[in-house]
Amino acid sequence: MILPIVAYGAPVLKKLAKDIDKDYPELDELLANMYETMYNASGVGLAAPQIGLPIRIFIVDASPFSDDDELDPAEQEFLSTFKQTFINAKIIEETGDEWAFNEGCLSIPDVREDVFRKPDIVIEYYDEDFKKHTEKFTGLAARVIQHEYDHIEGILFTDKLSQLKKRLIKRRLEDISKGKTNIGYRMKYPNKKKKR
């Protein structure tokens, strides 16, 4: 089932999300719905707060990036099959010199800005079978994880922009929260006026 994606301005996007346990009700169905929702919106990642749930789950499918000819073949190859569910994730290390990448977000349609992040991470997480993993990721794979991980920490990529950039897009963000967008997937807007 495709779920509405919560738009910028909703309080759930600013909350620190909570761990779940393996008895979380209907987890399989929730994950299936999250994947369907992400693919329907042509996203490469989706976090539970974006569908209104303040819990520590996010999903990633970075395979669309494998077509990017600017990446080296090894990275393209890795991204082509990089699909993963992250439950109760904790980034335990972020290293290297920060690099910029033009990010977007399904909760903030039509806004794209360069965001600086470190290239290498180590992350602990549980998969959909509640098996624990500790893994290293680098480059674009790390980038997508960091963006989604920020969602479960209550952080949006727009929070990481300069004061000047924030001022420049303020009006646009307010418009998004009011539902003044023109996108091809279902959204839920926190400040949309009800029709009389």
As annotated, the active-site residues are 148
> How far, in Å, CA of 98 to CA of 175, rounded?
31
Using CB under 5 A, which residues numbered 114 to 133 contact Zn ion? none
Residue 150: CB minimum distance to Zn ion, A = 8
> How far, in Å, CA of 153 to CA of 168, rounded?
25
Total residues contacting Zn ion by CB under 5 A comes to 1
- The answer to whether 145 contacts Zn ion (rule: CB under 5 A) is no
How far, in Å, are 35, 86, 102, 177 from residue 9 at the CA level?
23, 25, 21, 5
Longest dimension (CA), the chain: 56
* The dihedral sign for the CA sequence 63, 68, 72, 73: positive
- The answer to whether 12 contacts Zn ion (rule: CB under 5 A) is no
What tokens does 119 get? 């290239």
List the x/- string, 75-114, binding to Zn ion by CB under 5 A. Answer: ------------------------------x---------
CB of 105 or CB of 176, closer to Zn ion: 105
**Residue of this chain nearest to Zn ion (CB atom):** 105
Residue 67: CB minimum distance to Zn ion, A = 21
Residue 126: CB minimum distance to Zn ion, A = 21
- Name the β-bridge partners of 133: 125
- Per CB under 5 A, residues contacting Zn ion are 105
